[in-house]
Amino acid sequence: MLHPHVRPRRLRSTPAMRRLVAETRLHPAELILPMFIREGAGGPVPVGSMPGVVQHSLDSFRAALHEAAAAGIGGVNLFGVPEVHDAIGSGATDENGILNVATRIAREEVGDALVIQTDLCLDEFTDHGHCGVLAADGSVDNDATLVRYAEMALAQASAGAHLVAPSGMMDGQVAVIREALDENGFHDTGILAYSAKYASAFYGPFREAVDSQLKGDRRSYQQDPANRREGLREATLDLAEGADIVMVKPAMAYLDVLADVAAVSDVPVWAYQVSGEYAMVEAAAAHGWIDRDRAILETLTGIRRAGADAVLTYWAVEVATRLLGRSA
Ligand code: PBG
């Protein structure tokens, strides 16, 4: 009879053995919760395509911040949902604009317990829904947008953001934001750069979550899903421009890009598990087609295994709470 000498199954034999040899672990501190805060009166509004996710009122936002802090997650990443939109996204730089108001609240309420991050992009605030301002021919004007991003960085830093998170994929955005922050004394405000960000169908539910005004698409500034090398190029540029953290987005369909960036980065590498990734698992689970709780942990483990030091995920608080319960 033939007996194999090499038996990998030995290390899979018991739960204790599997736990001991696990190469990747999840911890609440490396989970970051994206949150939507809506301008105007009334309570929280559910996002239909993201069961369990809401556009917060300021009251529900406060409560959710404390829940997030109690769960021990690493931070929150804030998106504003303004009532009015215009061509240049004025609400983004207004100190009374919803995102800046929410940032001040977050800093006051839980600023010692959580890292407060702000989406630095114009798309939530523009009436055309693009991430920048438009040139006369309707294209997104890179360098005119950089001026707005510099102003937005100052508004967000003044409101108390620990990390500003440019997500618009304009060339040179990290350098311009770093310079604006430094010239105005915000040396300690960090930049979480969306470095490799792809023009993805998986942002679909997010567009509902922020009442997006977008008609066309973002393919002239977000990356083509076909391109792997380009992801590394974008990350390398952001590192040279002074990014404190680089991020790959979406996560699951781009694990190769994530692994590439993790291999060269000398700063933390994060991944964004986006709205469509969340919706996909929730929808399949609602049909009884997959084991929801296992699937969620498997996606996060895979993203960490590929090289992410931390993950933005809409399940952050739920998973952190589950992890805390397990270790207790
Ligand atoms: C741009 C931005 C988007 C997301 C995060 N920041 C939308 C886009 O680029 O179209 C998507 C996040 C998600 O889908 O969960 N401000």
- Provide ipTM, 2 decimals: 0.96
User: Taking Cα atoms as reference points, which of 53, 72, 86, 106 lies closest to residue 274?
Assistant: 53
62 is in an annotated binding site: no
124 is in an annotated binding site: no
On average, the pLDDT of the chain sits at 97
* Average pLDDT, integer, range 158-184: 98
CA 203 – ligand 1 centroid, Å:
6
Q: Whose CA is nearest to atom 14 of ligand 1?
A: 203
Whether residue 251 contacts residue 311, with contact meaning beta carbons closer than 8 Å, is answered with yes
* Average pLDDT, integer, range 270-299: 98
Whether residue 132 contacts residue 170, with contact meaning beta carbons closer than 8 Å, is answered with yes
278 is in an annotated binding site: no
Q: CA 291 → CA 48, 145, 275, 284, distances in Å?
A: 21, 44, 19, 9
Residue 192 Cβ < 6 Å to ligand 1: no
3-class SS at 140? strand
Whether residue 180 contacts residue 172, with contact meaning beta carbons closer than 8 Å, is answered with no
Q: Whose CA is nearest to atom 7 of ligand 1?
A: 203
CA 196 to chain centre: 12
| Ligand 1 nearest atom to the CA of residue 205, by list position | 14
Instruction: Check residue 328 and give its pLDDT.
Output: 43
Q: Whose CA is nearest to atom 16 of ligand 1?
A: 121
Contacts of residue 216, Cβ cutoff 8 Å, sequence gap at least 6: 130
| Ligand 1 nearest atom to the CA of residue 123, by list position | 16
CA 198 – ligand 1 centroid, Å:
10
Q: Tokens representing 195? A: 């470095």
Catalytic site positions: 197, 249
Residue 313 Cβ < 6 Å to ligand 1: no
pLDDT digits 0-9 by tens, 76-90: 999 999 999 999 999
pLDDT digits 0-9 by tens, 110-151: 999 999 999 999 999 999 999 999 999 999 999 999 999 999
CA 247 – ligand 1 centroid, Å:
13
Q: Structural domain boundaries of the chain?
A: 26-327
Residue 274 Cβ < 6 Å to ligand 1: yes
Q: CA 76 → CA 17, 83, 113, 280, 315, distances in Å?
A: 35, 22, 11, 22, 12
| Ligand 1 nearest atom to the CA of residue 204, by list position | 14
Tell me: pLDDT of 326 over 90.
no
**Within 10 A of 46 (CB to CB), how many other CB atoms are there?**
11
The CATH architecture of the domain made up of 26-327 is Alpha-Beta Barrel (3.20)
Q: Whose CA is nearest to atom 5 of ligand 1?
A: 167
Mutate to test the pocket of ligand 1, among 81, 167, 222 (most ligand atoms within 8 A of CB): 167
pLDDT digits 0-9 by tens, 286-325: 999 999 999 999 999 999 999 999 999 999 999 999 998 8
3-class SS at 32? strand
234 is in an annotated binding site: yes
In sequence order, which ranges of the chain are alpha helices (DSSP H)? 15-21, 58-70, 98-110, 142-159, 173-183, 204-209, 229-241, 255-264, 275-286, 292-306, 316-327
Helix (H) or strand (E) segment spanning residue 163: strand 163-166
Instruction: Check residue 327 and give its pLDDT.
Output: 56
| Ligand 1 nearest atom to the CA of residue 194, by list position | 6
* Rounded Cα gap, residues 157 and 104, in angstroms: 10
Q: CA 314 → CA 14, 280, 296, distances in Å?
A: 32, 12, 11
